[in-house]
Amino acid sequence: MTNINKIKLQPHASATIDLMRFNGYSLELAIADIIDNSLPVNSKNINITVQRKNGKRNDLFVLIEDDGMGMNESELEEAMDLSAKDLNSERDKNDLGKFGLGLKSASFSQCLDLLVISKRRNTEIKAMQWDLNFVKENNDWSVNVLEHDDITSIQNEFNIKDKQQGTAVLWRQCDTILKGLSEDKYEEEINIAITDLQKNLSLVYHKYISRGITIKVNGLELEAMDPFCERGSAGSRASVTFEETISLSKDDHKAKIKGYLLPHRSKMGDDKRAQNVSINGDLLAAQGIYFYRVDRLISWGSWHNLIRKSEANSLARVEISVGNNCDSEWSIEIKKSSINLPIYIKKRIRALVLGTTEKSNTVGVRRVKQKPSEYAIWQRELNKDNGTYQYSINKNHSFFKSYMDKHNIDKDIMISILDLIETTIPIEDIQNDIAQKTFKIGSPSDGLFEGIIEKALTFKELGVSFEDYKETMGKYVSYNLSNEQVLEVNSTIEKRWENK
């Protein structure tokens, strides 16, 4: 085998580009991957813009700017290179990257035109561009190196300000984002996407934001979420159930594990605080293990098959924090969006998790033992013998007494009707809908407000006092009203109540 013929095989651009692009990134994951490049280079301010240029739908662009160290020409060329880093090479302990592909893989997943402008302090500004349409059409893996005048033109067109140092990543021809948006509801859907992005980044980077890093999305400065309910003046704070450090391997890789028991929703404070603890205030969905790599949240809202999600466990959260030197132990993939718990420490983690979830269940049980309010129509009780909850209608409620007196209805007949309502509640359907998130609670409309008021005034005809009505309805939970809206609707009802 002294004379071996060799053939150089260059990957076909069109098919290869498609494989690189369809890699499972969402908009939130893709932008997070760009931010991961900004934070390790001392960026203090990161600005994200998602807009249409000149108001045209197909001219949607995404711009991510930072004030970090920036790159010179050789560093920029390396950043635009499609080859990956050596996973075995040493990296800075604050490096949030993994393969060295994040800039390209994240950007290509969302757009066909990637432009990076960067400047190191006391050096000339540089810019390079991947035009994927050109690559595919010409089977030519070349990047465009922009001249100074072209860079200035781009800066003016997209309002990219000159800085002493920093980097701007610009996505144009954002076909992936546009694919998910309908023509007739474009504005509504893009606003939803931006709101979801804001919520996601507020959680993923909450530790960095809490330390003073500023992240803005379309001009809105993000507030750090508080998934372990450790901050805030309103309401109670979480209690720590355990702290432990586990050794992962002979290379002295370690994981810090910490358990939290959140206060009951009623003791958490106002609605804003609850929204700051869980995205959309959903404790059920947000329970689980929160996995951090160099303080950047990778995975959350899952127990990873250690236990099942349930209402009883909704106040339990477990934090696992690791460095960037043990990615293989946790099977962290290129998008940095999921993990697998190492088999050899799974049993220990499960034991720690169970200790916290048992305390979460106890909080719920303790509240069941409390005497229900006389104004509550539905009562919740725990059957200690079989460990189940029972919901029943308070048949002595003043509403029912007033109705029976007004219409001369026999008490036994009324009790039979209420028993029928109790026994025909579609419990399994409700459980399935909650578990699958197939339900959606809409925001109240003007028509709904008037409907609440009209229904309220029918109780006055029964001789019910306004105070009894107000205490019974509480916060109008099924109508999804804010505290301010509850005050507004009660004020209107009280005025009409007195004048009727």
pLDDT digit string, tens, across residues 277-312: 888 888 888 999 999 999 999 999 999 999 988 888
pLDDT on residue 345 = 87
363 close to 63: Cβ distance less than 8 angstroms: no
In a domain, 46, yes or no: yes
Query: For position 334, what pLDDT does the model report?
Result: 78
Together in a domain, 163 and 183: yes
Averaged pLDDT score across all residues of the chain: 83
pLDDT in tens, 249-283: 766 788 999 999 998 877 777 777 888 888 888 88
Question: pLDDT category, 441, cuts 50, 70, 90?
Answer: very low
Q: Which of 258-267, 381-390, 397-406 shows the lowest mean pLDDT across its residues?
A: 381-390
Domain annotation covers residue 231: no
* Spatial distance between the Cα atoms of 47 and 43, rounded to a whole number of angstroms: 11
319 and 348 share a domain? yes
Task: Name the percent of the chain lying above pLDDT 70.
Answer: 84
pTM across the whole model = 0.73
Looking at residue 369, its pLDDT comes to: 45
CA-atom Rg of the chain in angstroms: 29
Distance of CA 323 to the CA centre of its chain: 22
Cα–Cα distance, 289 to 298 (Å, whole number):
10
Full residue range of the structural domain in which residue 147 is found: 13-221
Query: Do residues 206 and 74 share a domain?
Result: yes
Q: In the predicted model, what is the mean pLDDT of residues 172-177?
A: 91
How far apart CA 46 and CA 496 sit, in angstroms, is 51
Distance of CA 212 to CAs 45, 61, 221, 223, 279, Å? 9, 27, 12, 10, 21
Give a yes or no: residue 68 inside a domain.
yes
Max CA distance (Å), the chain: 108
User: Does the pLDDT value for residue 225 go beyond 60?
Assistant: yes
* Pair (357, 396) in one structural domain: no
Q: Note whether 268 and 312 are same-domain residues.
A: yes
Same-domain status, 52 and 179: yes
Where do we find the tokens 């990543």? 169
- The CATH number of the domain holding residue 161 is 3.30.565.10
Residue 148: pLDDT above 90? yes
Please tell me the predicted confidence (pLDDT) of residue 491. 81
Highest mean pLDDT, choosing among 81-90, 213-222, 353-362? 213-222
Mean pLDDT of 442-466: 69
Neighbours of 95 (CB within 10 A): 19
Average pLDDT over residues 156-162: 92
pLDDT of 64 reads: 97
Q: Are residues 212 and 256 located together in one domain of the fold?
A: no
383 and 337 co-located in one domain: no
Is 99 inside any structural domain? yes
Integer CA distances (angstroms), 114 to 131, 144, 225, 264, 335, in order: 7, 10, 31, 47, 18
pLDDT of residue 431: 66
> Does the residue 401 lie in any domain?
yes
pLDDT at 470: 75
What gap in Å lies between CA 118 and CA 168, rounded to an integer? Answer: 6
The SS3 of residue 266 is: helix
| Statement to judge: residues 86 and 182 lie in one domain | yes
d(C-alpha 307, C-alpha 255), whole Å? 20
User: Residue range 452-477: average pLDDT?
Assistant: 73
pLDDT at residue 99 tops 70:
no
pLDDT at position 129 over 60: yes
Q: Give me the percent of the chain exceeding a pLDDT of 90.
A: 37
Question: Residue 4 falls within a domain, yes or no?
Answer: no
CATH number at residue 350: 3.30.230
Residues 6+ apart with CB under 8 A from 490: 470
Same domain, 67 and 214: yes
What is d(CA 2, CA 433) in angstroms, rounded to the nearest whole number?
69
Residue 85, pLDDT > 70, answer no
Task: Read off the pLDDT band of 374 (50, 70, 90).
Answer: low
Task: Provide the b/e sequence for 172-211 (b: ≥16 CB within 10 Å).
Answer: bbbebbbeebeeeeeeeebeebbeebbbbbbbbbbbbbee
- The residue from 323, 345, 368 where one domain ends is 368
In a domain, 8, yes or no: no
Identify the residue whose tokens are 């359907």. 429
Task: Indicate the residue among 194, 221, 248 that finishes a domain.
Answer: 221
pLDDT at 458 over 80: no
Flag whether 354 is in a domain.
Answer: yes
CA distances from 185 to 173, 177, 366, 368 (A): 20, 14, 47, 45
Same domain, 261 and 320: yes
Residue pair 82/106 in contact (Cβ under 8 Å)? The answer is no
Quick one: pLDDT band at residue 60, thresholds 50, 70, 90? very high
Last residue in a domain, options 350, 368, 386: 368
Half-sphere exposure of residue 467, counting CA atoms within 13 Å on the CB side? 1
Read off the pLDDT of each residue in 420-440 and give the average, rounded to a whole number. 67
Tell me: do 389 and 361 sit in the same domain. Answer: no
The structural domain count of the chain equals: 3
Query: CA-CA distance, 340 to 336, in Å (whole number)?
Result: 12
